[in-house]
C-alpha cells in the first residue's frame, strides 16, 4: 500500500493513544501462564490489535493457552502446556521471539520457532549460548530454529547492550523451573525501563524478582497467579503517541488521551526531549541508548528545527525492523533534509522546513509514521511506499491521522 500525505501545518482534534504493545506482550504471557480466568484489554473497542500482539497470542495458544480475542479484549480461560512438537510462528515480532524462546524451552522438550521479514537476521546468539549452558540444544542461532531439551534453572549472564528482551524472556521463564536462578547483566543495561516493566507485570501476577545491583534473582517455588479482579487494562503507548506529540512540536494541536504520565515506559521522555528541541540556532546532543524507538520521530523534529542535532547511543537501531540509522537518514534526505549516519547515530542539520517527496518505508512501521509526521513541515506532498508497515504496531494510525485533519490517500503502486 502506497499513501500520499498532503501537507497540513496545523492538525487538531483528539486521538486516543493506542494500547502499549510492550505492556500487551507482557500481560498476555503472564496471564496465559497463570491459567486464568483473566482478561487483557489490548485495544479499544472497534480497534484491531497489532500484528506483533497477534503473533504473541498465536504463539501462546500453540504452547497451550486458551485465548479468545473479541473487539480488542483477550480472555484467557486456561493453560494446558504442550510438551513437544510445538511450532511457534513469531511473524515479524522480535518481542514475541525473544520473550518466548526461554518460556517455550521451560515448557517444551522440543519445539520449532520461525519468523519473517528481518526477524531471521536479528540477533539471538547471546541468548542461545546461555540457554545451551542450561540444557538446550539449537539447530541454529537464528530463525528458523529447532530447540530440544528443557531449560534448567541456575546462573545466566547477558550483556546489557544487545537487547533487554533477552533478560525479560528469562525472567518470564525462570519461575517455571525448579531451583533458584539469577541473571547477571554484564555491561550497562540499555532500555532498562523495559526490564522494569517486566518486573512490574511479574509482580502483578505473583512472581517476585529481586534486583541486587546488576543481578536479578528469581526464587524457586513461585507460581503465576491471576491478579485480583482478573482484568488488565493495558495503558497507552508512549512510543507510538510520540509521533502525534512531534506533530504538535511542528505546529499542530492534537490532544492525545490515555497516556500515563508516571508510566515506567522510557519513551515518555519524549516530552522532555521535545522541549529541548524547541531551542533553535544551537547544536544539541541526544543520547538514545535508553529510548531507541524514539529516533525516527525525534529525527524529523531535528530536521525541521534551525540548528544541528547529534543523535548518539543508537547502535542497536541497526537490528530493528530496518537498519533505522540507514532508513531514518534516507527518509530525511529524500524529503529534502540533511542527515548522515555515524557509527551509532545521526548528525542532522535542521533547516526549518522540508521539501517533500517520495520515501521508502523499508518495511518499518516507525519510518512510515515519521514520514507522516514530517509532512507537517513539507512544502509538497509526501508519498510513502509500503505504508502498510504501520500494521505491525498501530493498524489504525492513518484513521487517527485523518480524524485529526490530516490528508492521507491510498494511491496506485505505479
pLDDT at 9 over 70: no
What's the pLDDT score for residue 62? 97
Mean per-residue pLDDT for 238-267? 95
Q: Are 86 and 108 in contact (CB under 8 A)?
A: yes
How does pLDDT run across 272-289, given as a tens digit for each residue?
999 988 877 789 999 999
d(CA 319, CA 293): 12
Mean per-residue pLDDT for 238-251? 96
3-state SS, one letter per residue, for the chain: CEEEEECCCCCEEEEECCECHHHHHHHHHHHHHHCCCEEEECCCCCCCCCHHHHHHHHHHHHHCEEEEEECCEEEEEEECCCCEEEEEECCCCHHHHHHHHHHHHHHCCEEEEECCCCHHHCCCHHHHHHHHCCCCEECCCCCCEEEECCCCCCEEEECCCCCHHHHHHHHHHHHHCCCCEEEEECCCCCCHHHHHHHHHHHHHCCCCEEEECCEEEECCCCCCCCCCCCEEECCECHHHHHHHHHHHHCCCEEEEECCCCCCCCHHHHHHHHHHHHCCCCCCEEEECCCCHHHHHHHHHHHHHCEEEEEEECCHHHHHCCCCHHHHHHHHHHHCCCEEEECCCCEEEEEECCECCEEEECCCCHHHHHHHHHHHHHECCCEEEECHHHHHHCCCCHHHHHHHCCCEEEEECCC
Minimum mean pLDDT range among 64-78, 277-291, 304-318, 397-411? 277-291
Same fold: 2-17+236-411 with 21-217: yes
Domain boundaries in the chain?
A: 2-17+236-411, 21-217
54, β-bridge pairs: none
Average pLDDT, the chain: 94
How does pLDDT run across 129-149, given as a tens digit for each residue?
999 999 999 999 999 999 999
Q: Provide the CB-side half-sphere exposure for 221 (13 A, CA).
A: 1
d(CA 185, CA 164): 10
d(CA 104, CA 135): 13
Set 52, 237, 293, 400: catalytic member: 293
How does pLDDT run across 153-169, given as a tens digit for each residue?
999 999 988 889 999 99
What's the pLDDT score for residue 412? 76
Q: In sequence order, which residues have a C-beta less than 8 Å from that of residue 399 and are 6 or more positions away?
A: none
How does pLDDT run across 350-390, given as a tens digit for each residue?
988 899 999 999 999 999 999 999 999 999 999 999 999 99
d(CA 90, CA 143): 10
Q: In sequence order, which residues have a C-beta less than 8 Å from that of residue 91 and are 6 or more positions away?
A: 51, 52, 54, 55, 58, 115, 116, 117, 119
pLDDT at 413 over 70: no
What's the pLDDT score for residue 30? 98
267 is catalytic: no
What's the pLDDT score for residue 221? 82
Cell 500453540 sits at which residue? 62
What's the pLDDT score for residue 281? 76
pLDDT confidence tier of residue 82, bands split at 50, 70 and 90: very high
pLDDT confidence tier of residue 197, bands split at 50, 70 and 90: very high
pLDDT at 414 over 60: no
Q: Strands 12-16 and 253-257: what pairing?
A: parallel
Three cell numbers, residue 271? 516530552
Instruction: Please choose, from the candidates 297, 304, 280, 277, the residue with its C-alpha nearest in 3D space to the C-alpha of residue 379.
Output: 304
d(CA 202, CA 26): 8
pTM: 0.93
pLDDT at 1 over 70: yes
Q: In sequence order, which residues have a C-beta less than 8 Å from that of residue 56 and are 6 or more positions away?
A: 24, 25, 28, 29, 93, 95, 96, 99, 100
Q: Are 394 and 50 in contact (CB under 8 A)?
A: yes
Between 3.40.190.10, 1.20.1630.10, 3.20.20.70, 3.65.10.10, what CATH number should domain 2-17+236-411 receive? Answer: 3.65.10.10
Three cell numbers, residue 341? 549516519
* Percent of the chain at pLDDT exceeding 90: 89
pLDDT at 294 over 90: yes
Minimum mean pLDDT range among 65-69, 268-272, 349-353? 349-353
Q: Which CATH superfamily is domain 21-217 in?
A: Enolpyruvate transferase domain (3.65.10.10)
Amino acid at each position: 500500500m502506497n499513501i500520499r500525505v498532503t501537507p497540513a501545518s496545523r492538525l487538531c482534534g483528539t486521538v486516543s493513544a493506542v494500547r502499549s504493545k510492550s505492556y500487551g506482550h507482557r500481560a498476555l504471557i503472564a496471564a496465559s501462564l497463570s491459567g486464568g480466568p483473566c482478561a487483557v484489554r489490548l485495544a479499544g473497542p472497534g480497534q484491531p490489535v497489532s500484528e506483533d500482539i497477534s503473533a504473541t497470542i498465536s504463539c501462546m495458544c500453540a504452547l497451550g493457552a486458551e485465548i479468545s480475542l473479541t473487539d480488542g479484549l483477550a480472555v484467557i480461560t486456561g493453560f494446558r502446556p504442550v510438551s513437544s512438537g510445538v511450532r511457534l510462528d513469531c511473524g515479524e515480532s522480535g518481542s514475541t521471539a525473544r520473550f518466548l524462546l526461554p518460556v517455550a524451552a521451560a515448557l517444551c522438550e522440543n519445539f520449532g520457532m520461525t519468523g519473517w521479514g528481518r526477524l531471521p537476521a536479528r540477533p539471538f546468539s547471546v541468548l542461545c549460548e546461555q540457554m545451551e549452558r542450561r540444557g538446550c540444544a539449537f539447530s541454529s542461532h537464528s530463525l528458523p530454529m529447532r530447540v530440544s531439551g528443557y531449560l534448567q534453572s541456575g546462573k545466566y549472564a547477558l550483556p546489557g547492550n544487545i537487547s533487554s528482551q533477552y533478560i525479560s524472556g528469562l525472567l518470564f521463564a525462570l519461575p517455571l523451573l525448579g531451583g533458584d536462578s539469577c541473571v547477571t547483566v554484564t555491561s550497562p543495561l540499555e532500555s532498562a525501563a523495559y526490564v522494569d516493566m517486566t518486573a512490574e507485570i511479574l509482580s502483578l501476577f505473583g512472581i517476585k524478582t529481586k534486583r541486587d545491583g546488576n543481578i536479578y534473582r528469581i526464587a524457586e517455588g513461585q507460581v503465576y497467579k491471576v491478579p485480583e479482579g482478573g482484568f488488565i487494562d493495558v495503558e497507552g503507548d508512549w512510543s507510538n503517541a510520540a509521533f502525534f506529540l512531534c506533530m504538535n512540536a511542528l505546529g499542530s494541536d492534537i490532544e492525545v488521551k490515555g497516556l500515563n504520565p508516571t508510566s515506567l515506559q522510557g519513551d515518555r521522555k519524549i516530552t522532555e526531549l521535545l522541549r529541548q528541541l524547541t531551542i533553535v540556532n544551537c547544536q544539541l546532543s541526544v543520547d538514545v541508548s535508553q529510548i531507541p524507538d524514539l529516533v525516527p520521530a525525534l529525527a524529523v523534529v531535528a530536521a525541521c528545527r534551525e540548528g544541528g542535532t547529534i543523535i548518539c547511543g543508537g547502535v542497536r537501531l541497526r537490528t530493528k525492523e530496518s537498519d533505522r540509522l540507514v532508513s531514518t537518514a534516507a527518509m530525511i534526505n529524500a524529503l529534502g533534509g540533511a542527515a548522515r549516519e555515524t557509527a551509532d547515530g545521526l548528525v542532522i542539520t535542521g533547516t526549518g522546513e522540508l521539501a517533500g517527496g517520495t520515501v521508502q518505508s523499508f518495511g518499518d512501521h516507525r519510518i512510515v509514521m515519521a514520514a507522516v509526521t514530517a509532512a507537517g513541515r513539507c512544502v509538497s506532498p509526501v508519498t510513502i511506499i509500503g505504508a502498510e508497515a504501520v500494521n505491525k504496531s498501530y493498524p489504525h494510525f492513518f484513521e487517527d491521522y485523518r480524524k485529526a485533519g490530516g490528508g492521507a490517500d491510498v494511491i496506485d503502486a505505479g
